[in-house]
Structures are given as structure tokens and as C-alpha cells.
Amino acid sequence: MTSNQEDKIISEFLESIGPWRDFVVIGGGIALFIYKLYLTDPKLKNPPVGTRDIDSLIPRKIPEISEKNIHSYLQEIAGLTPDTPDTNFAHEY
């Protein structure tokens, strides 16, 4: 995967989470790609490598900034669906 493709994936993810993007932290293996894209010297012979899935870390309570909760927003507005049938990735607390 090229740097342009990686950058596009990250940008699309941030766009897809809409008004919550200021409250979501990207973690897991994709964080190393972000580090590679934006924080390291491209001439490095051994750039950081990670997995290509995106783990998003969301606080238990986030401000009410939309009529929809993040689960509904991701499904209806961004067209995303959970990978597994039993996943409800945004419980109401």
C-alpha cells in the first residue's frame, strides 16, 4: 500500500466520524502508519510498520453534538456497518 493510499484511508475514516472526530483517538496498528506518514523521515530505511485496521478509542461520555448517536451516524450517514452481527459499537450510557 502506498503512502497516498494510507493517507486516503485515514482521511476517509476521519471524515466518516463526522462531528465526533475531535473526540476520537486513533489507536492500534494504524497509529504506526500515521506516525510513518506524518512524523518520520521518509528516507528512513526501516519505517514503522503496523496493521491496517483502525482501532478508534472513544470516551464513555462524549458531548451531545448531533441528533444521532455515533452508531446511527456511522451506519446511516457514512454507510458503515459492523464486521460482526453482534457488534453494537456505540452503546448509550
The string of pLDDT tens digits covering residues 30-76 is: 777 777 777 777 777 766 666 666 666 777 777 777 777 777 777 77
Please report whether residue 84 resides in a domain: no
Is 69 a domain residue?
A: yes
The separation between CA 49 and the C-alpha centre of its own chain, rounded to angstroms, equals 17
In total, the chain counts a number of residues equal to 93
Q: Using an 8 Å Cβ cutoff, are 85 and 77 in contact?
A: no
Q: Is the residue at 59 inside a domain?
A: yes
Domain around 17: 3-77
The total number of structural domains in the chain stands at 1
**Does the model's pTM come out above 0.85?**
no
pLDDT at 47 (0 to 100): 66
